Amino acid sequence: MKRVFALLVVIVMVVSCQSKDTTIDLDKVGPITKTTNVKELTNLFKNDSIVSRLSEGDLGNMNDYIGDNDTYLVYQKGGKLLLSISPVNPLDSVSKIKSVTVFSDEFTTKKSVGLGSTFNDLNINHNIEKLEASFKLITVFVKDINATFTIDKEDVGIKVFTLGDIDKAQIPENSKFTSFTVWFN
């Protein structure tokens, strides 16, 4: 009887200690893949809290939306924002996922690159396709994981009015990212 009880305790501990998936790869952010639909999110993040911000407008008229995207925000139980998930189609529970924006450095690529990494970490470990400047941000396009990272222009000393493509050499190696989005298209 004691052996059965001990075995049961060990099984419960192993099951409860399983770490959650926080790996980012092509078409994958943690448990979310390109085949995941909106209604699966509550099951995938059952230990976290999900806040739904749904589009406005008439359900029957797809051209009459004030907001064009639904957003599902995933928070840890302590209130820390982990992810912002956008579906392809608004107000559709079976819609696939369009993009996932990462707000937590828990989520990293297989090469340990994430929101807390530097530009140099990204440049060494992943294939940067191009860098593009907007008014306030520099967007770094990463081909091998179909992701975009953003860097605040003020942090790297690039003038606000510099727009368009920029060179990797213009970005200091220790530059930090302000956001990180994985695209599922």
Confidence of residue 108 (pLDDT cuts 50, 70, 90): very high
pLDDT of residue 162: 82
Looking at the predicted structure, is the pLDDT value of residue 20 above 80? yes
Long-range contacts of 111-119 (CB under 8 A, 24+ apart): 114/24, 114/180, 115/177, 115/179, 115/180, 116/176, 117/176, 117/177, 118/173, 118/174, 118/175, 118/176, 119/151, 119/171, 119/172, 119/173, 119/174, 119/175, 119/176, 119/177
Tens digits of residue pLDDT in 22-79: 999 999 999 999 999 999 999 999 999 999 998 765 555 555 545 567 899 999 989 9
- pTM for this prediction: 0.82
Confidence of residue 99 (pLDDT cuts 50, 70, 90): very high
Which domains are assigned to the chain?
Answer: 20-183 (2.60.460.10)
